[in-house]
Structures are given as C-alpha cells and as structure tokens.
Structure 1
Amino acid sequence: MTYVVTENCIKCKFMDCVEVCPVDCFYVGANFLVIHPDECIDCGVCEPECPAEAIFPDSDDKTADWLELNRTYAAQWPNITRKGEPPADAEEWKGKPGKKDLLDPAPGKA
C-alpha cells in the first residue's frame, strides 16, 4: 500500500508533507507534488500534515485516477526533501474543485 497525492494539491503545493516523510518519497512539479508509490512505506505521517487535504491511502476511492499519475511524475520530477515556499496564491486555490486540467507537467525545483 502507498499514499497518493490527489487533485487538491494542484496550485496549492504547501509542502508540509515533505518535512515529515521518513523515506523522502516526494517529487516536485511546477504546481503539484507526487509520492513515488514504490518508495512510500505506508507510514501515513504525511496525510495529517497536508493543509490542502490532498493525500490519501491508495485504498481510498479518491485515488483511483491519481496513483498512476503519481508513479509517472515521480519518475520524471526531482526528489524533494525539504519544505519550500508554497505558491503566493496557494490559500486561494485551497479546496477548489476541478483543478486536474491545471496540473503543470513541468518539473519543479527541489
């Protein structure tokens, strides 16, 4: 089992989750984070740290469309091990639905 980052992270990217991950399995895109499913140890410490409530166990129905997306981008984006600055407008995007089309496939900066 693994944890999965979902749509709520898009354009929020708060990164609080990165600081608590004991195995550094987060990868960063321009406006989204992903968890590498083969590196995640299913400890769950990241889930309650996410202010955008974007992280769920892969057993949750909300992750169906997101697990493979996390796997794909984890292979393309740089690993991130420290919390960076969230986007200036992150709070404005927090909780907004329908953000999947806004996901930027470009890698972020670790």
Structure 2
Amino acid sequence: MTYVVTEKCVDCKFTSCVSVCPVDAFHELPDRLYINPETCIDCNACMDECPVEAIFPDMDVPDELQEWVSLNEEAENHPQIVGQIDALKGPKCVDPNADN
C-alpha cells in the first residue's frame, strides 16, 4: 500500500504533509504535490496532516479519483520537495482555514 494525493491538492499545495514525511516521498508540480509510491512507507503521517483531505491510501481512493493513482506514479519525474513552503492557495483551492 502507498498513499495518493488527489484533486483537492490542485491549486492548494499545502505542504504540512511534506514536513511530516519521514522518507521525503513528496514531489512538487507547479500546482500540486504527488507521492512517490516507490518511496512511501505507508506511515499515514501525511494523510492526517492534509488540511483539505486530498490524501488517501491507494486502496481507498474513491472510484471517481482512480486516475490519481497513476498520476502519483509519475512523481519521480518531478522535483522532490523536502520541507514546508507557503501554500499556493490558487483559484481552485478551497482553503479550510479561510474566513467565510
């Protein structure tokens, strides 16, 4: 089993999940993160840390988000990210901490 970043990360790119990953499994794209399934050790730390609930165990990814499993398999083709940075909070992001 591995963990998978899904569409709720797009335009948000909160990186608190990155800061708790003990094996640096995250890779960064301009508008999202992916988890490298070859590096992930299934520790669950990232899932608990994600404020937008974008991370799922690969076996529990909802049917409508299954394409994200293969997208995360491309993680190694993108730069690795090993520390927390400011969130993107772009137009598609639903920030759970924003004032409503």
TM value normalised by structure 1: 0.78
CA distance in 2, matches of 1:93, 1:5: 14
1:65 CA drift (Å) = 1.4
Q: Which runs of 5+ in 2 are unaligned?
A: 96-100
1:61 CA drift (Å) = 3.5
Counterparts in 2 of 1:61 and 1:55: CA distance versus 1, 3 Å: closer
1:35-85 superposed Cα distances (whole Å, 9 cap, x missing partner)? 00111000101001001110000011325211110111x121100010011
Corresponding position of 1:84:
85
**Cα RMSD over matched residues?**
1.7
Alignment of structure 1 residues 2-81 onto 2, 5 Å: 2-62=2-62, 63-72=65-74, 74-81=75-82
Partner AA of 2:84 in structure 1: K
Q: Which runs of 5+ in 1 are unaligned?
A: 96-110
SS at 1:84's partner residue?
A: coil
Give the 4+ runs in structure 1 shifted more than 6 A.
none
1:94 CA drift (Å) = 1.6
Partner AA of 2:94 in structure 1: K
Corresponding position of 2:98:
none
Matched pairs, number: 93
TM value normalised by structure 2: 0.85
CA distance in 2, matches of 1:41, 1:88: 28
SS at 2:73's partner residue?
A: helix
